[in-house]
Amino acid sequence: MSDAPILTVEHLMMRFGGIVAVNDLSFTAERRKITALIGPNGAGKTTVFNCITGFYRPSGGAIRLNRDDGRTIQLERLNDFRIAKQANVARTFQNIRLFPGMTALENLMVAQHNALMRASGLTLLGLLGVPSWRSAERSAIELARTWLKRIGLLERADDAAGNLPYGDQRRLEIARAMCTEPTLLCLDEPAAGLNARESGALNELLLSIRAEQGTSILLIEHDMSVVMEISDHVVVMDYGVKIAEGAPQAVRDDPKVIAAYLGADEEEAIAVMEKAN
């Protein structure tokens, strides 16, 4: 296992016509750590995510994923589904994107599509029902059951995903991403719309994923209680550029960050802080 950072973003640039959404952004995400990407609305966080997960092709820069086996994958050259398939990067969405008409269990089975396709001999062996396919299917269901248990939804495995409460849908989406057995898990505002108790449970889930699966996590979050409690490293963005980076505590006290969030000048923010102290 290498100790190189799991993800290295260098001089990332994303333009939409004349608008520069992300401008010369560089940061790294450490292996088996939780890295948070924060910033005010419109700072370009989700754009960065879309570049990393292949939904956008960056206008410039490099995104390198260093796999556990030492191989390096240039994510900016892959696109679409290949990032999830070949580089094992999984993601969730800001506005939950489950398959609402399928059950919770089916959602987790779809996530194991690529592994199951291989096991079913590209459908042919599966159609004939050979034993190796049957056992592969059983173990896929077992994996799904394990995850349903971990997110506390075992009871509702056979309910339609669209019928689950909001908080459960959020957790199910994370479980679905984990069922692809990713090396890097990207979460886009996982705590959005959750109450204090639910976001506490989310923190525990993310910490246990890091501890047990050793998955590196990159997350966008507005909920500071989540960011401060669980992240190991925080990157702050504003207007498409990085304005601060470091440990959660250090970032929280950074005048630039406060200024960005308050929408004020840096001097004003310093004045406010000094007064508070």
Shortest Å distance, C-beta 153 to other proteins:
11
Please give the radius of gyration of the chain, using alpha carbons only, rounded to the nearest integer.
20
- Give counts: helices (H), strands (E), the chain: 12, 10
Shortest reach from residue 194's CB to other proteins, in Å: 12
Q: How far is the CB of 111 from other proteins (least distance, A)?
A: 5
| Subset of 27-86 contacting other proteins (CB under 8 A) | 53-55, 80-85
Nearest to 90 by CA among 172, 185, 8: 185
Asked if 145 interacts with other proteins (CB under 8 A), we say: yes
Neighbours of 142 (CB within 10 A): 10
Contact status: 171 vs other proteins (CB under 8 A): no
In the chain, the amino acid numbered 38 is I
Can you tell me which of 20, 141, 201, 224 binds other proteins, judged by CB under 8 A?
141
Q: Does 26 bind other proteins (CB under 8 A)?
A: no
**Exposure string (b/e) for 71-106, b if CB count within 10 Å is 16 or more?**
eebebbebeeeebbeebbbbbbbeebebeeeebbbb
Report if residue 91 touches other proteins, rule: CB under 8 A.
Answer: yes
Least distance (Å) between residue 23 CB and other proteins: 25
Q: How far are the Cα atoms of 57, 87, 134, 187, 265 from residue 37, in angstroms, in the given order?
A: 19, 21, 42, 10, 22
Instruction: Please say which residue, 111 or 230, places its beta carbon nearer to other proteins.
Output: 111
Of 189, 158, 152, 155, residue with least CA distance to 172: 152
Q: Give me the 238-277 binding string for other proteins, x by CB under 8 A, dash otherwise.
A: ----------------------------------------
Helix locations, 179-265, DSSP H: 196-208, 224-230, 248-252, 255-262
Site string for other proteins, 182-221 (x = CB under 8 A): -----------x----------------------------
Beta carbon of residue 38, minimum distance to other proteins (angstroms, whole number): 22
CB of 264 to other proteins, least distance (A): 33
Question: Contact with other proteins (CB under 8 A): which of 11, 74, 77, 100?
Answer: 100
Partnered with residue 25 across adjacent β-strands are: 12
Beta bridge partners of 34: 217
Residues at the contact surface with other proteins, assessed by CB under 8 A: 53-55, 80-85, 90-91, 93, 95-103, 105-106, 109-114, 116-117, 120, 123, 126-127, 141, 145, 148, 154, 157-163, 166, 169, 176-177, 180, 193
